[in-house]
Amino acid sequence: MTNSCLKCLKYTMCVANFLCFICGVAVMGFGIFMMVNFKLAALTPSLASFNVANLLLISGIIITCVSFLGFLGALKENRCLLLTFFLMLFFLLLVELTAACLLLMHEHQISAWVEKDLNEGLAEAKGKKTDEFLSEWDLVQETFDCCGVHNVSDWGDNVPKSCCISQCSTYRSKGCLDRLKNWFEENFLSTGISVIVLCVIEVLGMCFAMTLFCHISTSGLGYKL
């Protein structure tokens, strides 16, 4: 009975990690596709190296590496790989919980920093010819139906087409800062639930990995290549 449960646990880990591996490859591929086909100008100077394409690529690499370790460790019943998988999930869990706590504790400071950084990013975007590439400012303004940080006057004389309504007869009235704040407030619950679900999945993965690890140790299989 015990062996049947452990086999079920082993193959459950294999299937779950294989699906995560496929998702990671898809995310990584989409990130590479965006890097090749779109020249994305950063929304803020602080995030110049972490635009949408780079974030997708990094996320895809992390998901792919972690899920591959979990899949191979469970399939081969390798203690070293299972322990590495456990430690990586534990580290990711700590990072996520730390980031969530910092966001809750320093909400006002982060809000002021975001506003300052958006103003600096917009000032840099003014001097660029936005017709030559797809700017993250264009994506944000079209997605959230906004213009500038506070309003269209932030752009001065260099107003991009993404601010236009009805063939530039009028401009979008709301600023992107308020739109982004409202979006985060409206999706706060769903975001929190998503983070909790992700943490639960990571904890389950850690429990499964440690259970297999202990089984391999007690069964006398020892270290397996």
Judge whether residue 66 has pLDDT over 90: yes
What are 132-139's contacts with CB under 8 Å, separation 24+? 132/39, 133/38, 133/39, 133/40, 133/41, 134/38, 134/39, 134/40, 135/40, 135/41, 135/160, 135/162, 136/40, 136/41, 136/42, 136/43, 136/51, 136/52, 137/41, 137/43, 137/162, 138/162, 139/40, 139/52
Closest Cα to residue 35, out of 13, 22, 9, 53?
53
pLDDT higher than 80, residue 166: no
**pLDDT: is 50 or 17 the higher one?**
17
Segment 128-132 mean pLDDT: 53
pLDDT band at 225, cuts 50/70/90?
A: very low
Of 214 and 124, the one with more pLDDT: 214
Q: Pick the most confident of 5-9, 26-30, 48-52.
A: 26-30
Name the pTM for this structure: 0.74
Domains and CATH numbers, the chain: 2-218 (1.10.1450.10)
Give me the chain's average pLDDT, please: 80
